[in-house]
Structure 1
Amino acid sequence: MDNANTWQEFMGVKAMVEKGLDRVPYRFIRSLQERPKVSQYEEKENIPVIDLQDQVDNSSFALSANLVQAIGRACHEWGCFQVVNHGIAPSTMNEMMEAAREFFELPDEQKMKYFTLDTMSKFRYASSFNLQKDKILSWRDFIRYSCHPLDDVVSLWPSTPSSFRKANVNFCTQIHGLVRKLCGAISQSLGLPEKYIEQAFTDYSQTMVCNYYPKCPEPESTLGVGSHTDPGWITALMQDDVTGLQVLHEDRWVIVKPIAHALVINLGDVLQILSNGKYKSAEHRATVNGSSDRISVVTTYGPSLDTIIRPAPEILLNGCKPVYREIVYKEYMEMILSGSLEDKRLLDFHRLEIQ
């Protein structure tokens, strides 16, 4: 199904809202169990916040022992944390956020040039993850595009808005250095060599997702993105000042309160497997509201498709048994892409029975 044939069948959520509606269409309505309930939120709690002040010197790859310990604790207890004073220039973050907003404000005809049902496209504009198979649609529009290697993909990005390519190149480059440092700390916190994760995934994918969540006439009946975990090894998320991101912690949905110029770091399924279940892949979702839109910019990292995902052998010493069977990452991704994003607990499928 090509772009021309889908123009009349697909309308971005933003465009739908702008045409005027006072009810959420039935294909976006969640079941009673999935719907966001204010009573479920824990306002007094937030995910761990880790301050990297004085720890992002480019001449030093490693973080301090105290920070390594704090990051390890957050990975074990939450599977996510926020980092502040991380070294990425606020101006770089602001320009990236503005470039994303400018793209979503383009006329529909320009955005539709990038619409495709191909979930593996190098640059994709859509709303729900899988429009053909998602039973319930997501209250968002998004663009998803490859960022690595930069020289091979920049020409595939839009030249309009004019700031888009430059803002993305700056942001992708700076965030990569930060992710390397965080992966080094996560490796050390597992008792592995500092560059274990980096070297294990030398050939990697870096993907950007910009999400636009329009205001909603019935925000408690739908979700911007349903509950899911990320398949890769680590995700860095930048959000604006509108609340919406939530993390499941001890069976409660906790609001991730926005902090100016902070980044939310989520572990993905690959790191839960590599750690043999010691660290968790954070289950999260995005809610919407009735008064304003919301934007987030997400950078995800995953291994190459031919990488074999399995618990680190060093973690299995001294009689420790593997919790997960090994799998080629391509097969893991194919299982995800063949269905809905919310057919998510593939980790459970690959869990071994421990005798």
Structure 2
Amino acid sequence: MSGQDLSSYPPLFVQTSDSERSVGLVSDSSPPIVDDWDPFPIIDFLKLNPEEIGKACRDWGMFRLVNHGIPEELSAQLQEVSKKLFSLPFETKQAQLQSPMSYFWGTPALTPNGVVVNQGVQKVNRVEGIFVLLSQLSQMPPGDDDVPMLNSFRNLLEEYEKHMARLARFLFEALRKNVDMDPNSSQSYLSEATGVVRIYRYLQCSEPNKAEGMVAHTDSSVLSILNQDEVGGLQIFKDDKWIEIKPITNTLIVNIGDMLQAMSNDEYKSVEHRVMNKRAERISICYFVFPEDEGVIQSTKYKPFTYKEFQAQVQKDLKTIGIKVGLQRFRL
């Protein structure tokens, strides 16, 4: 991080020396990383082929979406404003990024207090983020002199949400029909009102592919739709190796979450993925959509459960054993 203004970083990231950080590096004995080719399936939104999208979700649990209709200018503006927000002093972000958004660092959604325990050693993933409840954007207070770009940030997010909700609903309906899911469950199984955005800044690392910016995990969502910059770092675990998903301009990465795996009776795959820090900072914008809290998910592979019950179990596991167990807790 030499030559950079460090005031925007969480203090722990600045205070931790390279030697201390190396304790949490991925060991040489971990599964290999393949980053010299990209076999990732590509789905054309304007020519959705049921067979192709079904195969991608069964085999990979992720796919690259092209011709999605999100204006390049909108994505570029959202990326630019996000960079400006992240470049604010750490104390300003903590004080000013308030409901319906919140500022975080580490991985609090995946690990207790954002801390990862690896072989008895604690480490914090070097990522910070802004969490936004999209349904409450209208209640967001106007920006003040410290954060004047908050107004434009809200406007961009409101437009972005419309595109994301459209994509999520259309993709879900295509995937639902592909596995003969009950259409009567459609509304409760995918609730646009639950939509959230998490914007991440992954800090640079002197040793690419050695430090995890985001621990390996599956998403708890129905669908996750990722808009990433040109830096890269997203990896998917498949066939006993990590495969790097290369960033391609004006494409999106769509990820099947735990909820859709259960809804599809395990036909679709909620795939394990992670993010590795690179030599440059990385900005990614991810939209997550969930079922209604009280909507009951019926499956031949799992006992009936609601998303609210699922999340309560995840939080309990994080607090008691330090990891997310997820769907295995509900399997028949």
TM-score normalised according to structure 2 size: 0.83
Task: Give the one of 181, 197, 203 matched to 2:186.
Answer: 197
- Further displaced range: 14-23 or 291-300: 14-23
The residue identity in structure 2 corresponding to 1:123 is M
1:260-279 maps to which residues of 2 (within 5 A)?
A: 260-279=249-268
Cα deviations by residue, 1:68-111 (Å, 9 ceiling, x for unpaired) = 22111111111110101111111111111112111101122210
Deviation at 1:324, TM superposition (A): 1.2
8 Å contact from structure 1 (residues 214, 288) kept in 2 = yes
Equivalent of residue 24 in structure 2, options 29, 38, 54: 29
Looking at structure 1, the residues matched to 95 and 81 of structure 2 have their Cα atoms a distance apart, in angstroms, of 18
Aligned pairs for 1:1-355 within 5 A: 13=9, 21-25=17-21, 29-30=24-25, 32=27, 39-52=32-45, 55=46, 67-113=49-95, 122-130=100-108, 132=113, 134=115, 135=117, 136-148=123-135, 150-151=137-138, 153-155=139-141, 160-162=148-150, 163-192=152-181, 197-198=186-187, 200-202=189-191, 204-289=193-278, 291-311=279-299, 322-338=300-316, 339=318, 343-352=323-332
More strand by share: 2
The answer to whether the Cα contact below 8 Å between 1:211 and 1:296 also exists between their aligned partners in 2 is: yes
Q: 1:349 to 1:12 in 2, by over 3 A?
A: farther
**Aligned amino acid, residue 50 of structure 1:** I
- Give me the identity figure in percent: 26
Separation in 2 of the partners of 1:154 and 1:83?
A: 31
Q: Which TM-score applies when normalising by structure 1?
A: 0.78
Deviation at 1:310, TM superposition (A): 2.5
CA distance in structure 2 between the aligned counterparts of 1:16 and 1:160, rounded to whole angstroms: 27
Assess, with a 3 A threshold, how the Cα gap between structure 1 residues 250 and 342 changes in structure 2: closer, same or farther: farther
Structure 1 residue 190: deviation in Å?
1.3
- What is the CA–CA distance in structure 1 between the aligned matches of 2:29 and 2:160, rounded to whole Å? 34
Structure 2: tracts of 5 or more residues without a match: 1-6, 118-122
Q: Is the 8 A contact 1:247 1:283 kept in 2?
A: yes
RMSD: 3.0
Q: Which amino acid aligns with 2:178?
A: S
Residue 161 (structure 1) shift:
2.1
The question of whether the paired residues in 2 share the 8 Å contact of 1:122 and 1:145 is answered with yes
Q: CA deviation at 1:46?
A: 3.0
**How far, CA to CA, are the matches of 1:257 and 1:140 in structure 2?**
19
Quickly say closer, same or farther: Cα 1:73–1:154, change in 2 above 3 A: farther
2-structure distance, mates of 1:125, 1:156: 17
Q: Which runs of 5+ in 1 are unaligned?
A: 1-10, 56-63, 312-321
Given that 1:205 and 1:302 are in contact with CA atoms closer than 8 Å, whether structure 2 keeps it comes out as yes
How far apart, CA to CA, are the structure 1 residues paired with 2:148 and 2:244?
34
How far 1:48 moved relative to its partner? 0.8
Task: Return the offset for 1:217.
Answer: 3.3
In the TM superposition, what whole-angstrom CA distance separates every residue of 1:186-238 from its partner, at most 9, and x where no partner exists? 11211346785345334741111000011123445420001001111000000
Moved more, 269-278 or 301-310: 301-310
For 1:87 and 1:124, how far apart are their aligned partners in 2? 28
Give the whole-Å Cα distance in 1 for the aligned partners of 2:206 and 2:71: 36
1:236-279 CA distance string (max 9 Å, x none) = 00000011001111222111110101110001100000011111
**Structure 1 residues 182 and 221, CA, compared in 2 at 3 Å: closer, same or farther?**
same
User: Deviation of residue 177 (structure 1)?
Assistant: 1.0
In 2 relative to 1, CA 253–193 (structure 1 residues): closer, same or farther, beyond 3 Å? same
Q: Secondary structure at the match of 2:113?
A: coil
Q: Distance in 2 between matches of 1:232 and 1:278?
A: 16
Aligned with 1:217: secondary structure?
A: coil
Structure 1 Cα separation of the partners of residues 191 and 263 of structure 2: 15
1:41-64 Cα shifts (integer Å, max 9, x gaps): 253233211122xx2xxxxxxxx5
